[in-house]
Amino acid sequence: MALTPPEDRLWWKQPLHGIEIGWITISLLWGFLMFGVMIYWHLTGEQNLSNEAYRINPDAYAEKVEAAAALYTVREDEQSGMPVVHPPPGSDVYMLARLWEWWPILELEEGKEYRLHLSSLDWMHGFSLQPTNINLQIHPNYEMVVTITPDKAGEYGVVCNEFCGIGHHQMLGKLIVVK
Amino acid sequence: MSNMFRTCPDTGLKVHGPAEALIKANAVAAVVFLLIGGLFGLLVALTRWQAIHLLPADLFYLALTAHGADVLVFWMIFFEIALLYFASAVLLNCRLATPRIAWVAFALMLGGAVMANVAVLQGESSVMFTSYVPMKAAPHFYLGLILFAVGALVATAVFFGTLVIAKQEKTYTGSVPLVTFGAVTAAIIAVYTIASGAIILIPTFLWSLGLVGEIDTLTYRIVWWGFGHSSQQINVAAMVSVWYAIGALTVGSKPISEKVSRAAFLLYICFLLLASAHHLLVDPGISSEWKVFNTSYALFLAVLGSMIHGMSVPGAIEVAQRKNGFTQGLFGWLRKAPWGNPAFAGMFLSVILFGFLGGITGVIMGTEQLNIIIHNTLYVPGHFHGTVVAGSTLAFMAITYLIVPLIFRRELIFKRLAQWQPYLFGLGAMGISVFMMAAGTLGVSRRHWDMAFSDAPFAFDYPPAAFMMMGLNGIFAIIASIGGVAFIVIVVGSILFGKKRDEETARANPVVFQGGGATVSSHGAADEVKIPGTTILVAVFFLSFVLYYFVNWKYLSEVWPLS
Ligand code: HEM
Ligand SMILES: [Cu+2]
Ligand SMILES: [Cu+2]
């Protein structure tokens, strides 16, 4: 019994049962297969996270985002007064997280590729682009760069999904995809 | 010395008085924190039910912090310390090493837990139990956690000391029992995870006092999860030991093969070192090679351990039940199992729910690319309410129904309620797990007060189905809470008012399986085990796993291309 010392003192010499060998083999093979699927997806899948990131200090990052916004702001959002930035397709686009907003609003074109830069000026935040459902961890002092291709026009919400204090649930940004 | 021992009328084991007292103290503390933490959980769930939206934002974040700390840390670890003392002193017929130091450990843990709770309730420490920097809590929040960790470490040392004494005084022959072996696994993991917890919490404490400068957020997450995740393997190892123990006590089951079960425990120890990797799959600055490699060997081989237990626990029960005469068909052994015994029912539900809800989803979340559609959504709490609530908590509740008569030596009161309790709590836990995962699949954020974004500068609507999921989550949270309160009423009531169990009552009303000779006969290597029912259960599990795994790749493929 499991509560008493093994009756067979040489328990490690007992041969395995067929069913045990079978299940262990299947489980191991399944593990290898799942390992293979991740690599396979890196080679052929369309959704892989880049490893591109840089160390940057928050002020320097803020300057970059503001510079890009100054160049490409096309209008102001009526509701919030936040600038709507429409950078050229294929270019580097910038968004920052700070307590408690995502800044600015980005306007991108459907089917075009962009290099999206993300970083935080203060605490950790969570970039949760909905409803497409892309979720990234945003740190201060690290600038993350992901290449995205918006494939469907519409208005997207940028939810903060890393708890960042009392204003966390107000931290909603916007990303617009136009045809 | 010898008068400090009594002989257990149910098992014939010699029980050391001071060990028994410590088991009681730790178990009672555990249950108290379960009560407090569970109530916070209910408040949280009722707030996330948008139609009710019970608490204001500040209290919601406060309650969520208290919930995480009280249940995940204090309830689980107090109970595990009780289990460690049980698996060493009681199962090995031995005296507990240095009871006085064990009481010091208890005092440290209790003091730490109370201090952390006070800090949270004062309102300046709503930082969640992960306490990511640079969000700052009051210094005594960190100090409370550190004291608790030190106490737990000391208690683990007492456990190891007891093993040494048992070996020296030859209180058992041969190898330690499987359940004790599982406890050793849990304790070894506890030592290195708690050490790594201290490595990150001590500087954080000093930083909160203004004594050290900035702490890098990425380093914090890497080290914190090195402890935060690996410590979950303590919960798994303890839970699996409990499964084996309850199987043995309620239907007289024996491990099909000692070698396989023990090897599976060893896998937990060996393949955990970088288990923090799967918490960092969408963090900046970490290479894909590192992620794929470290999630694979560390995750899949530890998962292999659980897959093995997932067959050998029900398999052992099937073998025992067939020996007990329930040989009809494929599932006669299962139909005729003691489903009215809350210890057995809770254990078996825990096996099933842990595997299907917690296990499968954990592997999926730990897959590099799939994490993109899951990270920090409600899928994550959905997953771990499958592991640590429907799995470990349910198993711990189940074994409490044996600890009360055997260690507290009281008859259970409210027996009918006790029969229903595992089903109630199991159903509730299943619901909160499933519906949080469903909401998470629809993108809903975890740790979030307002999924309607009424105070946000823009409008954004999650799909209506997501709101429905959170309503269902609330309903099942109520069911789970009723199950939880029932558990506490039964246990505390029995301890205080239950009929004292002397030898006579123990003989009249045995709680340990009295199977006669059948289960005692040792099965040699020669006779092949026949477990067709378990084989089918395992096959169903495996197919669900494979299917659901690929369904998630399908979901991922619908997301914007990114590279
Ligand atoms: C009555 C039973 C319970 C209910 C109704 C419940 C409900 C919930 C809910 C709704 C959340 C919030 C999810 C979010 O907004 O992010 C949550 C979080 C959590 N629960 Fe539970 N829970 C229960 C029991 C437990 C138990 C027994 C444990 C551990 C053993 C546990 C561990 C946790 C943890 C660790 C979190 C995460 C806290 C955080 O994000 O910081 N829960 N629970
Ligand atoms: Cu935020
Ligand atoms: Cu936030």
SS3 at position A134: strand
For residues B335 and B295, the answer to whether their CB atoms sit within 8 Å is no
State the residue range of the domain holding B165. Answer: 2-562
Enumerate the residues of chain A whose CB falls inside 8 A of the CB of residue B307.
23, 27
What is the band of B518 on the pLDDT scale with cuts at 50, 70, 90? very low
SS3 track for B423-483: HHHHHHHHHHHHHHHHHHHCCCECCCCCCCCCCCCCCCCCCHHHHHHHHHHHHHHHHHHHH
pLDDT tens-digit readout, A25-80: 999 999 999 989 999 999 999 999 988 999 999 999 999 999 999 999 999 998 88
Q: Does the CB atom of residue B447 touch ligand 1 within 6 A?
A: yes
Asked if residue A1 belongs to a domain, the reply is: no
Residue range B389-417, pLDDT digits in tens: 999 999 999 999 999 999 999 999 999 99
* pLDDT-based confidence at residue B517 (cuts at 50, 70, 90): very low
What does the angle CA B406 – CA B84 – CA B112 come to, to the nearest 5 degrees?
110
Task: For chains A and B, count residue pairs whose Cβ atoms are closer than 8 Å.
Answer: 299
Q: What is the pLDDT of residue B74?
A: 95
- Out of B308, B445, B529, whose CB is closest to A161? B445
Inter-chain residue contact B292 with A35, CB threshold 8 Å = yes
Q: Could you count the other beta carbons within 10 Å of the beta carbon of residue A72?
A: 19
We report the CATH number of the domain holding residue B420 as 1.20.210.10
Do A82 and A146 lie in a common domain? Answer: yes
Buried b / exposed e over B366-402, threshold 16 CB at 10 Å, is bbbbbbbbbbbbbbbbbbbbbbbbbbbbbbbbbbbbb
For the cut 60, the answer to whether the pLDDT of residue B26 exceeds it is: yes
Does the pLDDT of residue B9 top 90, yes or no? Answer: no
Expressed as residue numbers, the domain containing A112 is 51-178
The Cα A69–Cα A104 span in angstroms is: 7
Mean pLDDT of all residues in B368-389: 96
Question: Which of A57-66, B170-179, B499-508 is modeled with the greatest confidence?
Answer: A57-66
Residues with CB under 5 A from ligand 3 (ion): A 160, 164, 168
Tell me, what's the pLDDT at B524? 42
Chain B partners of A51 at a C-beta cutoff of 8 Å?
285-288
**Nearest ligand 1 atom, CA B34:** 27
Mean pLDDT for B120-130 is 94
User: Could you give the percent of chain B with pLDDT greater than 90?
Assistant: 77
Residues B359, B280: Cα–Cα separation, whole Å:
19
Whose CA is closest to B277, among B327, B319, B225, B239? B225
For residues A17-24, give the mean pLDDT: 91
Q: Do residues A38 and A97 share a domain?
A: no
Amino acid at B202: I
| B517-543: average pLDDT | 71
The span from the CA of B309 to the CA of B307, in Å, is 6
Indicate the residue among A26, A44, A62 that finishes a domain.
A44
Q: Is residue A3 part of a domain?
A: no
A37 and A104 together in one domain: no
Tell me the two tokens of residue B44: 């949280």
B190 Cβ closer than 6 Å to some ligand 1 atom: no
B484 lines ligand 1 (CB under 6 A): yes
Using alpha carbons, list the distances in angstroms from residue B399 to B86, B264, B281, B484, B515: 12, 22, 36, 15, 19
Q: Which of A158, A142, A148 is nearest to A61 (CA)?
A: A142
- Residues A84 and A172 placed together within one structural domain of the fold: yes
Domain with residue A66: its CATH number is: 2.60.40.420
* pLDDT (0 to 100) of residue B4: 86
Among the ranges given (B10-14, B16-20, B59-63), the one the predictor scored with the smallest mean pLDDT: B10-14
pLDDT of residue B274: 58
Q: Say if the Cβ atoms of B376 and A17 lie within 8 Å.
A: no
Q: What is the predicted pLDDT for the residue at A5?
A: 87
Contact between A147 and A116 (Cβ < 8 Å): yes
Question: In 3D, which of A139, B510, A151 has the Cα closest to residue A129?
Answer: A151
What is the mean predicted confidence (pLDDT) over B510-537? 66
pLDDT band at B521 (very low <50, low <70, confident <90, very high): very low
Position B197 scores a pLDDT of 82
Mean pLDDT, chain B, integer: 92
Task: Mark whether A62 and A31 lie in a shared domain.
Answer: no
Partner residue opposite B300 with nearest CB, options A9, A35, A146:
A35
Strand order, beta sheet including A114-120 = A53-55, A142-148, A114-120, A92-98, A101-103
Give the predicted TM-score (pTM) of the model: 0.95
Q: pLDDT by residue (tens digit) across B343-357?
A: 999 999 999 999 999
Which two three-digit tokens encode residue B155?
A: 């208690």
Contact A6 B218 (CB under 8 A): no
Shared domain check, A159 and A111:
yes
Report pLDDT for B525.
38
The phi, psi pair for B447, rounded to 5°, reads 45, 50
Clarify whether residues A81 and A123 are in a common domain: yes
Is residue B224 pLDDT above 90, yes or no? no
- Using alpha carbons, select from B322, B312, B438 the residue that is nearest to residue B374: B438
Residues of B within 8 A of A112 (CB-CB) are: none
Q: If we measure between CA atoms, which residue out of B70, B154, B45, B170 comes closest to residue B120? A: B70
Containing H/E element for B232?
Answer: helix B230-251
Encoded amino acid at B141, one letter = F
ipTM, interface predicted TM-score of the complex: 0.95
Say which amino acid occupies A149. Answer: T
Residue B1: CB atoms within 10 Å: 6
Give the pLDDT score at B298. 67
CA dihedral B204, B205, B208, B211 (to 10 degrees): -90
| Chain B residue nearest residue A153, CA to CA | B560
Shared-domain flag, residues A23 and A96: no
Please check whether residues A29 and A111 belong to one and the same domain: no
B73 CB within 6 A, ligand 1: no
Same domain flag for A29 and A57: no
CA angle (B24 as vertex; B14, B90 as ends), nearest 5 = 25
Does the CB atom of residue B388 touch ligand 1 within 6 A? Answer: yes
Same domain assignment for residues A122 and A174: yes
What confidence tier does A161 reach under pLDDT thresholds 50, 70, 90? very high
For A93-131, how does the pLDDT look when each residue is reduced to its tens digit (9 = 90+)?
999 999 999 999 999 999 999 999 999 999 999 999 999
A146-175 core/surface letters (b: 16 or more CB in 10 A; e: else): bbbebeeeeebbbbbbbbbeeebbbbbbbb
Closest CA to B295 of B268, B266, B265, B272: B272
In this predicted structure, what is the pLDDT of residue B528?
Answer: 64
Number of domains in chain A: 2
* 3-state class (DSSP) for residue B137: coil
The number of distinct structural domains making up chain B is 1
In a domain, A21, yes or no: yes
Mean per-residue pLDDT, B429-458: 96
Sorted by sequence, the CB contacts under 8 Å of residue A78 that are 6+ apart come out as none
Same domain, A27 and A57: no
Residue A82 included in any domain: yes
Q: What is the pLDDT of residues B269-281, one digit of tens each?
A: 887 655 677 888 9
